[in-house]
Structure 1
Amino acid sequence: MLPMLSQNGICYAFITRLPKDAYLNELIDLILLQWKAYEFATKEKANVFLVYGEPPSFLALRMLQFLAPFIEMPPQGKVWIVTSHWDFASISIQKIWDIQIFHGSISFATHSNQPLGFQSYIQMVRPGWDNADNFIHDFWEQAFSCSLKMLEEQEESQESCTGEEKLETLPGTLFEMDMTGHSYNVYNAVYAVAHALHAVFKSISKHKRVVQERRLAFQNVQPWQLHRFLRSVLFNNSAGDTVQFNENGELLVGFDITNWLMFPNGSMERVKIGSLDPQAPAGKELTINNNQIVWHRSFNQVPPISVCNDNCYPGYRKAKKEREEFCCYDCVPCPEGMTSHQKDMDACVKCPEDEFPNKHRNQCIPKVLTYLSYEEPLGIILSILSICFTMSTGLVLKIYMNYKDTPIVKANNRTLSYIILVSILLSFLCSLLFIGQPGKVTCILRQMIFGLVFSVALSSILAKTITVILAFMATKPGSRMRQWVGKSLANSILLSGSAIQAGICLVWLSTYPPFPDVDMHSLHEEIILECNEGSVTMFYCVFGYLDFLAIVSFLVAFLARKLPDNFNETKFIAFSLLVFCSVWVLFLPVYLSTKGKYMVAVEVFSILSSSAGLLGCIFLPKCYCILFRPELNNKELLMRRKMKAEISVSVRGAHGL
């Protein structure tokens, strides 16, 4: 039986053996031997007892149940599943004992039925029918606790039997009015033999002879001669059941699944709740009507649970306990990223790539598509900043164009100032390419335009700074630097600085350009729509070249910071480039430590802040002078400053001599 239990996922908490016999002289030894097993069983969490035994073992178990209340053992509310060999029978001394503990038991009983006239026959049975039948006499006396002996032989304490007692008044544990499965088999066996003898009679009818009173007798019929005829027996008994044997000589009969109902008055009732039919189609041999089952009262009609631990609910998996049966396990939470959506799962499963586990890890939830959108607060704020800075740059450019002939605008290389302002304006606008759902065109354009625009701006600043230094050096007597001062040098620096960046971008586009991509792994609950930069090497080349231009421009501007006042724009350039470099130095670690839309937001913020630094530090002081200090924006003042600068240079030269 144990292998069959294991194959069906059932394990046992304990196994104990009950004796086959329970005679009175062995009663004390039996109790001592079985009491520890009974005590252990009462403390176990198992709610289902599977019993395989003979009727005498049931008598021994009833004795243990009877003694349990006297030593304060708790009553057992269990489900008893018994085989067809067991029977809820009792000896006469046990007929008044409570049997409620077995209420709701389930048994596999040999199929039975009630032949015609059986109930009437049982009701008419009397002990006086046959005085020679000692079995009926003994049963009658024990069942009804009376004596059938003559009055002079009767003990004074014993009541005499009338012989008219009713068998239907006896408790069901002592006597059942219905025919049991064993009796029904005997009934069918008798009729099967009768039909076989009838067949034998027909086959040897030529050899029969008539004896006295016209009874038929068979000449030399041996028991083994019936076997051939028994195999072919086929008839319907009086209860309407078909009786026949298979090719192995086995009676084709199934089992009834019976629910035992025990009543307080000692009576009991068998209720058929299902059947086990070996002739049924595969998978339909066992049928049970769950709604008909009456469980023990301690379960309140809730189907009992008999496990060594609770179920592992969704979100947990089973983990086998050491040195325990295979059905005993611990419940372990599913690891990160995995779920279990059913009870008692052996292993957790991973969610699909586009889904993630919920908080309880018992369900997979679709991930949310995410990108830096114009509709969310962060995207709206960055868009507003970009537009405001663009408008501010346009306003500065308009001021410069309106006052293009003023000394301040002309003294600081008007053309390069226009180019720088346009580049800053485009840099503010290009930040909008980073906002919104990534597409093929936007992914390619945003890094390319960003790199080219900033290269033009930084190249222009470098050209302006170098021009300022050369112009100062050209004022020295006998200097040959005057031949380098002019638009050609500035244009060369601007074009060469921008061309190098354009070459890097062309190589990037021709090898492994950026493209729209989906990142399902970086964030737990989100699918990131992003632009994959393609070649990471080229991406860092673009940024590296911008850093190179910014650092060179800063160093040049820093060296020229102490030039005379009429050339003091280099101070503002140096400070603006310091801000620019600081922003992009901080950008890299922050950019690499963020994920998803916040990574894009970091780059957009860096573009806006660095561009704003260039705009504010270089051009706002000039706009302030143009609009609010017009007295400083005149040619005579600049000429006086220039003469002072020339005198200062001459003095320095004389001291040098």
Structure 2
Amino acid sequence: MSDPVQYPYFYRTVPSELHLSAGISKLLKYFGWKWVNIFSSDDKSTVRAVQILKEEIERNGGCIAFHEIFPHQRRITSLEHQKVERAIKQSSIVNIFYNNKHSEFSLQYVQKLKTYVKSGQVFISIGEAEIKTPNQYQYHFQISNKFFIFKPFRKVMPNFLKFIREMKPVWQASDFEAKHWWKDLCNSRCPKMIRRDCNSTSKIIVFPHCFSTSFRSSYNVYNAVYAVAHALHDMIMSGSRNGTTWTKENREILYSLPWKLHHYLRNLHFKNGLGEEMYMDENGDLATGYDILSLIVLPDGTLKYEVVGHYNPHAPPGQDFTIDEKAIIWDSSFTQKPPQYRCNPSCNPGYRKLTKEGKPICCYDCIPCAEGEISNQTDMDTCTTCPDDQWPNQKRDACIPKVITFLSFEEPLGIALTSISMFLFLITSVILGIFIYYRDTPIVRANNRQLSYILLISLMLCFLCSLLFIGHPEDVTCILRQTTFGITFSIALSSILAKTITVVTAFQATKPRSKLHKWMGSRVSNSIVLSCSLIQIVLCLAWLFTAPPFAYLNMRSEIGTILIECNEGSVIAFYCVLGYLGFLAGISFIIAFLARNLPDSFNEAKYITFSMLVFCSVWISFIPTYLSSKGKNMVAVEIFAILASSTGLLGCIFFPKCYIILLRPERNNKKDLRNKFDSKTENSIVYTVSSAIAIRGFNIW
């Protein structure tokens, strides 16, 4: 009817069904009701309104559990009653009765409802139940405080009840029904507010309008009459301003020109007798809304319709829908007030909905959010991912800042590694002091004391460089970590390699016609240390100039933490540095292993073999352990490898010498060194001579 082309002169003084559908959906959304039954009639306007209602419900996340359409021109059959009964018997359901808005909700049907209405259910209707006889109050007890009714906004018109009591309907004498309607009001059983003062001898059995609670659409008719009156007034006044004289003839023309009145109705704006602002919207509808009523039966059995809210589609957003929850009296059968109606309980924060296969979207399972995700509202379809610097709390309903972590000096692991490093540094310093103090003894001189000093100092630096791996990583410390570690270890391994080559060369040089005499001396051993260390320095410089290490915030290594660590920059360069150390260690191990059977007194090869065996074992096991570790455990693994390999070199090479120097000084002399060999064999004599020559070459004796 709002189509301006098909019905250009249609005006409505009651809200449109479109607005009514929106109002019901807002009520459902306000209380969070998402699981509903709909019972409606099949007239054209209702079908269209219910379709809009269903779309609004689904748009707000609700679902239609059951929808039954009944014919509006006949009574409901018993089979249709059974369908309604089965649908209403379901729990957690809101039942919406959307019947033709021009007929009140049937109280007789309410009487049938009470036989199978379950406790804790709510009903929404657009029809107000009419009380036709006093004994019908009892029908409401079963559904009282459970009904919400949408009725067009209305007020009691001034003197309306007085008009009913005092009007003399002479002009309705020909209308038999109207005549009896007025006569029925003369009955003494009618309420005083509408009882007419007249003589009536008819015996009336049923007089439903005596107990009417709505008087049909009287308020809307009242506004319609006022609207037409004001439009006519504006039109007449407009004509008089133009000099038009209103005679009987041109007044008759008025009724044949509805488009003239149409113009004034379109632009109508007035106040009715109640002082209310009235105007027509662009669809020709009076800008009015709905009252939301609650059906209440008071303790004394009195029926009451309490206004608990309003819906005015013409009001500004946010003010169009209001509910006074204090005015609502919930039935005692409700365990939760206001009740909740869903196919499933709500998914709490920390969970998300997973729709059940083959079920409506309102029927779902609640599953926890995945790691790294949260949901901070109820019934969320998806969980949201926390930012990189945050992590879900235990309930997964909020993102909290990640804990910043690194291997610090204050934590137990850092304290333990620092203590071990400093302890080993002090032990190495003591051993260096012992070697310096006993520098002129045969055992110190026989093992090339210059290389021993270089090796001990490099081991001290190795123990200290492990401290660079502890503490808050910075770009500078990240660069110093790997380069210092690589260079100091290359010096240590170069010294061991030089020691091994010197021992082998010394014994080979004593053979007749040997040309290795010129390779004896400290100059060759120092050159080996310098050249091998220089290669490592070049590798480290190339690393720094191409892709140097840098401080990096690792947000994905450990759950709930931000690990501050050093990124190696170039992984290839890192493994080249380690590979070069492995190459030096391998060469030293092979040479020492081949020379292990040379006489003990002047031979360090056996000790170097064991030290290289420990060194290689540690670093071979380091690589898979390092790659399988996470977080600060990776740093701890590398520190442990540095300390363990350095300790292996220190213990295998220098502890036996310190034992002789400190605890067996009688063995630390020339005579003892000579007597160690077997003088009965020729080989021993040869060896003694060659050893003496070799020792002279070293400037020992």
TM-score bucket of the superposed structures, by smaller chain: 0.7 to 0.9
Distance 2:427 2:398 in 1: 52
Amino acid at match of 1:284: Q
Aligned to 1:87: 128
| TM-aligned CA deviation for residue 496 of structure 1 | 2.0
Amino acid at match of 1:79: V
Distance change >3 Å, CA 368–CA 278, structure 1 → 2: closer
Contact 2:679 2:685 in 1 (8 A): no
Distance change >3 Å, CA 632–CA 92, structure 1 → 2: same
| TM-aligned CA deviation for residue 182 of structure 1 | 0.7
Distance 2:537 2:232 in 1: 113
Contact 1:200 1:226 in 2 (8 A): no
Identity in percent: 44
Contact 2:105 2:130 in 1 (8 A): no
- Is 1:58 the counterpart of 2:99? The answer is no
Q: How does 1:8-19 map to 2 (within 5 A)?
A: 8-9=59-60, 10-18=62-70
Q: 2:181 aligns with which of 122, 131, 135?
A: 135
Over residues 66-92 of structure 1, what are the superposed CA-to-partner deviations in whole Å (9 max), with x where a residue is unaligned? 5x2xxxx45343222222xx1211554
Say which SS state the counterpart of residue 129 (structure 2) adopts. coil
Aligned to 1:46: 93
| TM-aligned CA deviation for residue 441 of structure 1 | 2.0
Amino acid at match of 2:94: N
Contact 2:105 2:128 in 1 (8 A): no
| TM-aligned CA deviation for residue 464 of structure 1 | 1.2
Contact 2:375 2:384 in 1 (8 A): yes
Q: 1:103 aligns with which of 134, 145, 162?
A: 145
Distance 1:219 1:548 in 2: 119
Aligned to 1:438: 473
Over residues 596-627 of structure 1, what are the superposed CA-to-partner deviations in whole Å (9 max), with x where a residue is unaligned? 21111111111111111111111111111111
Q: How does 1:569-648 map to 2 (within 5 A)?
A: 569-641=604-676, 644=679, 647-648=682-683
| TM-aligned CA deviation for residue 423 of structure 1 | 1.0
Aligned to 1:212: none
TM-score (ref. length: structure 1) = 0.82
Distance change >3 Å, CA 99–CA 628, structure 1 → 2: same
Distance 1:278 1:444 in 2: 69
Q: 2:457 aligns with which of 418, 422, 431?
A: 422
Distance change >3 Å, CA 479–CA 246, structure 1 → 2: closer
Amino acid at match of 1:408: I
- Is 1:409 the counterpart of 2:456? The answer is no
Contact 1:523 1:595 in 2 (8 A): yes
Say which SS state the counterpart of residue 98 (structure 1) adopts. helix
Distance change >3 Å, CA 394–CA 134, structure 1 → 2: same
Q: How does 1:146-157 map to 2 (within 5 A)?
A: none
Distance 2:234 2:313 in 1: 28
Distance change >3 Å, CA 479–CA 247, structure 1 → 2: closer
Over residues 272-313 of structure 1, what are the superposed CA-to-partner deviations in whole Å (9 max), with x where a residue is unaligned? 233333443355333333443333333367222222222222
Contact 1:317 1:340 in 2 (8 A): yes
Contact 1:423 1:454 in 2 (8 A): yes
Over residues 110-136 of structure 1, what are the superposed CA-to-partner deviations in whole Å (9 max), with x where a residue is unaligned? 22222333455678999xxx9994335
Contact 1:20 1:56 in 2 (8 A): no
| TM-aligned CA deviation for residue 240 of structure 1 | 3.6
Aligned to 1:75: 118
Distance change >3 Å, CA 77–CA 17, structure 1 → 2: farther
Distance 1:124 1:75 in 2: 46
TM-score (ref. length: structure 2) = 0.77
Distance change >3 Å, CA 246–CA 373, structure 1 → 2: closer
Distance change >3 Å, CA 555–CA 525, structure 1 → 2: same
Distance 1:542 1:429 in 2: 19
Aligned to 1:157: none
Amino acid at match of 1:107: I
Aligned to 1:148: none
Say which SS state the counterpart of residue 273 (structure 1) adopts. strand
Aligned to 1:275: 310
Amino acid at match of 1:49: I
Distance change >3 Å, CA 272–CA 467, structure 1 → 2: same
- Is 1:30 the counterpart of 2:77? The answer is yes
Amino acid at match of 2:321: L
Distance change >3 Å, CA 253–CA 364, structure 1 → 2: closer
| TM-aligned CA deviation for residue 503 of structure 1 | 1.8
Contact 1:512 1:534 in 2 (8 A): yes
Q: 1:456 aligns with which of 484, 491, 495?
A: 491
Distance change >3 Å, CA 600–CA 577, structure 1 → 2: same
Q: How does 1:482-561 map to 2 (within 5 A)?
A: 482-561=517-596
Distance 1:443 1:263 in 2: 81
Distance 2:235 2:683 in 1: 151
Task: Single out whichever of 488-497 and 405-414 deviates more from structure 2.
Answer: 488-497
Aligned to 2:211: 175
Distance 1:196 1:344 in 2: 52
Contact 1:470 1:481 in 2 (8 A): yes
| TM-aligned CA deviation for residue 93 of structure 1 | 9.2
| TM-aligned CA deviation for residue 531 of structure 1 | 1.5
Say which SS state the counterpart of residue 304 (structure 1) adopts. coil
Aligned to 2:323: 288
Contact 1:566 1:638 in 2 (8 A): yes
Over residues 464-487 of structure 1, what are the superposed CA-to-partner deviations in whole Å (9 max), with x where a residue is unaligned? 122112222333445443333222
| TM-aligned CA deviation for residue 238 of structure 1 | 4.4
Say which SS state the counterpart of residue 261 (structure 1) adopts. strand
Task: Single out whichever of 459-468 and 265-274 deviates more from structure 2.
Answer: 265-274
